[in-house]
Structures are given as C-alpha cells and as structure tokens.
C-alpha cells in the first residue's frame, strides 16, 4: 500500500448530506461526495492486510485495495480502469449498494471500515467529469444476435459485455423508458436518472439497440395499453440467444380483512408513479401522500424509499412497522465478521422524519365508504420452537391497537418474476417460482434461452444483478462462439 500506516493516522470520513429540512423539499440527490483530498486520505486507510476480504465480500469482486491505493497516489484514471474491470456501472453501486465490502473490511474487525463505497463514488464521478468514460465499440462484429429481456442492472450489464464482444444486442423493456428497477424502483433522490441516460448513450455508441414499450409474451396477457407485443417464438426465430433478465416483480401481498379498501397499495406502485411524474409523464389517479397519515409495512430498503417519498410529498405523518423484532444497534463483530451482520440500520429517509416500530402483526384494515382509515394490529414475540429449532411468532395477549392510516404502502418484498412471461417461454422454475438455471452456464431448459439477475436468483441487490449479468454474458459468448475472453 502507498501508506502502510494510514489506517493509524486517519479517521474514517463518511459522505455528508444536505440538511434534512432542505432536502425533503426536492427530489434531487443530496449526498455530498468526498473531495480529492478526503478521498486520498480514505484510500490511505486501506491496510496492507494480506488477504483482502473486501474483494470477496463484494458480489462483483471489485479489486478494492488496488483502486484505494491508486486514489491515495492520485492516479485517478488508472483507478477508474481498475474499477471498471469488474463493474460496468459503479455510479449505480457507488450510490445505492449497501456496501457488503465494508462489512468484510479487515479494519472493520475492531475499527471503522475503510470508506470503500465513498471512494468508488468519487472515482466514477471524476471519470465522467474528466471525460474518461467513453464508448468501447468492438473491433469487429461476430454476426450473432442476442436479445436481452429486461433493462435493469442485470440486463444492461449483460448487454454491454456482449456488445463489446462483437455481438448485435437488442434490449427489450416493457416500460416506456430504459432502466428497469434503476429507473422506476429507486427514487431520484437516491439515484438521479441522468446517470442511466448517459450510460444508455455510451451503450448505443457501442452498438446496443434499446426497444422500450415492448412486452415479450403472448396476446391475452394483461399488459398496459400501447405496448408492442412480441411472442417468444418470434424472438427465438430472430435471435441466436436470449437472456431473461427481468425483475422479481410479483410483490408479497397481505391478505387480511380490509385489503380491498382504497388507499392500500403496493409500495412499488407508489414509487413508480412518483418517478414517472419526475420524468415528465402525465398520470391520472396518482397515489399521493400529501396531508395523509402514511403507514409503511415492511422494514427494508423499499419501505425506506416510501418513507422518503412520502415526506417529500407532504405527508401528515409517516409510520413504518415491521413484523420481525428490532435488531441490535451494533453487531458482535467477533462473531459476524466478515459476513453481513443483522443489525439495526437507519437510512437517510428515516432521519427525515418517521416513527418506526417492530414486532407488529397487521390484523386488518378498517374504514368507511370504501376508504382505509386505520390499521388494526397487535404486538408479537418470536420464540424458538424446541422441537424444530425454528422461530415462531406468538401474539401477545391484550396487545391489540389501532393506528390511523389514510394511506398504507405494502413494502414486504417480492416473491417471483411475472409467471405469464415464464409460461410463454415454457421455462422451468425452482421452488420459489424463479427461472431454473445454474451459475455455471446460466442456461435454462429452453434452447438458446439464458437467465440472470432477479428472474433467476430472486429479489436481490443491484450489485448481484450486475454480477449475474456479466457472468451470463460470458456464458452466452461461450455458447455462441465456442470460446470467450469475457471475464466472469
């Protein structure tokens, strides 16, 4: 390392935020990235630890110690090349990844981890600022055609890798804009959509064709008006390989009395609408939190995004409840390192204003004239079953309560890809309803059809989607050409 004693000399500096009172008035990004000197110091904190567990903790296996050292030496362009060698889109992960690499950092055993994510953010932003991120078109074309179904991070990563290998790649997306989860599932204040647009421009210059508002399925499927429908048979006839890279779009529902009341919605419907409005689309019947008492059910990232969006829309109050018990504020690092620990995490959206509560079961929704007015819940405790060793939920007697709720957002995760699309292709599924394919060749039971990302592994992180997209691209290149130079 450039400065072997850096971790002893410098404290961790985290990225700062625009004040909450200011940022809730707009939908722009509010993170204040590190300046060059701060990034240099943070790079200097990377230890000469011998075995870089951070690299293994990162799903795309970023070569983290190398680019930390290069930033310390202020060799930014070389740092960018090292970063891009494993990650097609570090501007996405540098903003929205939960950073399992930092959990695995050796310094994290008994100190504050190296600020890996903030350094990654600084590298890629400087790369774009300096004009170092340029198209990389192939030297020659192979004559092979590949279709990518889904334009989220898995689909985009696969498309870029295959285009650079010389194949003609077309990305199909049923929404009216490219980006999938990146575009419509993540609020603008966490990921500005211009970041997607400039990557699209780069990829188009590399030869990727994007076809939005196009549904891959069969007539009769329930789809939005105005979409072009292409059948799997047409796709299989026109292309040499197909990658299924859509999302796990079926949300987990909450079948309790009153679920049918107006005002009870899936979280993604709420987030998607706001992102479409921010993009300039005209909507009728938008779900709006202004002046309402909002209850968000589910304690994950999607629930947190609902909190931040509700506050920006002017909610009267926001409450987030979770079925599981409250996690500890700090993990026992001697027991959990280098793995991802179960501990309480407070997001920037929580800091903007939110009541949080845990170990709560929703019993019913109630209201009048077809409109939700309150949530009926009860407190629970989680006990270990002596016979099975599994944790079981038990309602606490007399703990029932009511919570005012004009708008309820169900943010309890996603269970599977859209079944109709899988049925149209005749794809085998695993026990969870995902496409059955392994991580060696990513091939499905249908000839020429591969699967990657959430459609294959289930709901997961953007960084895992990028990893699978890259690995699937290598498998497809191997299938088409008999050999490949693409990295895993």
221 pLDDT higher than 80? no
Report pLDDT for 284. 86
Instruction: State how far the Cα of 479 lies from the Cα of 87, in Å rounded to an integer.
Output: 23
Report pLDDT for 218. 86
Q: What is the pLDDT of residues 263-318, one digit of tens each?
A: 999 999 999 999 999 999 988 899 999 999 999 999 999 999 999 999 999 999 99
223 pLDDT higher than 80? no
Going by pLDDT thresholds of 50, 70 and 90, the confidence category of residue 329 is very high
Q: Which two tokens stand for residue 330?
A: 């700090």
pTM recorded for the entire structure: 0.96
Report pLDDT for 224. 79
CA atoms within 13 A on the CB side of 123: 35
Contacts 24+ apart (CB under 8 A), 421-428: 421/149, 421/216, 421/217, 421/221, 421/244, 421/246, 424/216, 424/217, 424/218, 424/221, 424/231, 424/232, 425/232, 425/244, 425/449, 426/232, 427/244, 427/451
The pLDDT of 445-457, averaged and rounded, is: 98
220 pLDDT higher than 80? no
Residue 393, SS3 per DSSP: strand
- Report CA 285 to chain centroid distance, whole Å: 27
Residues written for the chain: 488
The pLDDT of 167-193, averaged and rounded, is: 97
Going by pLDDT thresholds of 50, 70 and 90, the confidence category of residue 2 is confident
**Contacting residues for 435 by C-beta, under 8 A, at least 6 apart:** 244, 417, 422, 427, 428, 429, 444, 451, 455, 456
Residue 335, SS3 per DSSP: helix
**pLDDT, the chain, mean:** 96
Q: What is the pLDDT of residues 57-105, one digit of tens each?
A: 999 999 999 999 999 999 999 999 999 999 999 999 999 999 999 999 9
Going by pLDDT thresholds of 50, 70 and 90, the confidence category of residue 225 is confident
Q: What is the pLDDT of residues 372-413, one digit of tens each?
A: 999 999 999 999 988 888 999 999 999 999 999 999 999 999
Going by pLDDT thresholds of 50, 70 and 90, the confidence category of residue 488 is confident
- Dihedral of alpha carbons 285, 287, 291, 293, sign: positive
Q: What is the pLDDT of residues 136-158, one digit of tens each?
A: 999 999 999 999 999 999 999 99
Q: Give, as one character, the DSSP assignment of residue 466.
A: H
């Amino acid at each position: 390392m450039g400065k072997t004693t850096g971790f002893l000399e410098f404290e961790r500096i985290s990225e700062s935020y625009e004040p909450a009172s200011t940022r809730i008035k707009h939908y722009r990004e509010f993170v204040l990235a590190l300046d060059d000197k701060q990034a240099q110091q943070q790079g200097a904190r990377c230890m000469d630890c011998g075995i870089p567990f951070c690299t293994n903790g990162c799903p795309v296996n970023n070569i983290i110690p190398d680019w930390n050292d290069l930033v310390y030496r202020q060799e930014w362009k070389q740092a960018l090349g090292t970063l891009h060698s494993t990650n097609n889109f570090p501007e996405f992960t540098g903003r929205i990844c939960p950073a399992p690499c930092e959990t695995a950092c050796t310094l994290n055993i008994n100190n504050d981890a190296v600020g890996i994510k903030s350094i990654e953010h600084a590298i890629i932003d400087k790369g774009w600022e300096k004009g170092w991120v340029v198209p990389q078109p192939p030297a020659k074309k192979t004559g092979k055609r590949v279709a990518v179904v889904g334009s989220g991070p898995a689909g985009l990563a696969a498309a870029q890798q295959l285009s650079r290998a010389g194949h003609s790649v077309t990305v199909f997306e049923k929404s009216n804009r490219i980006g999938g989860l990146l575009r419509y599932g993540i609020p603008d204040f966490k990921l500005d959509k211009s970041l997607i647009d400039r990557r699209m421009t780069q990829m188009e210059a590399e030869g990727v064709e994007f076809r939005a508002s196009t549904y891959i399925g069969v007539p009769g499927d329930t789809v939005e008006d105005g979409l072009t429908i292409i059948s799997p048979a047409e796709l299989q006839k026109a292309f040499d390989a197909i990658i299924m890279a859509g999302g796990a779009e079926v949300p987990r529902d909450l079948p309790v009395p009153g679920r049918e009341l107006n005002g009870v919605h899936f979280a993604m419907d709420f987030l998607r609408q706001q992102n479409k409005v921010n993009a300039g689309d005209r909507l009728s019947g938008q779900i709006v939190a202004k002046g309402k008492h909002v209850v968000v059910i589910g304690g994950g990232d999607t629930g947190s995004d609902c909190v931040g969006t509700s506050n920006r829309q002017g909610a009267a109050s926001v409450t987030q409840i979770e079925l599981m018990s409250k996690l500890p504020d700090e993990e026992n690092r001697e027991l959990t390192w280098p793995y991802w620990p179960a501990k309480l995490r407070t997001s920037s959206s929580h800091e903007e204003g939110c009541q949080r509560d845990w170990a709560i079961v929703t019993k019913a929704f109630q209201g009048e004239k077809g409109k939700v007015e309150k949530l009926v819940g009860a407190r629970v405790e989680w006990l270990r079953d002596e016979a099975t060793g599994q944790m079981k939920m038990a309602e606490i007697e007399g703990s029932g309560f009511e919570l005012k709720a004009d708008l309820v957002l169900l943010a309890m995760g996603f269970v599977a890809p859209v079944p109709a699309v899988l049925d149209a292709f005749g794809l085998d599924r695993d026990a969870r309803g995902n496409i059955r394919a392994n991580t060696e060749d990513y091939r499905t039971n249908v000839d020429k059809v591969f699967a990657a990302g959430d459609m294959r592994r289930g709901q997961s992180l953007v960084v895992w989607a990028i990893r699978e997209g890259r690995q699937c691209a290598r498998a497809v290149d191997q299938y088409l050409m008999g050999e490949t130079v693409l990295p895993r």
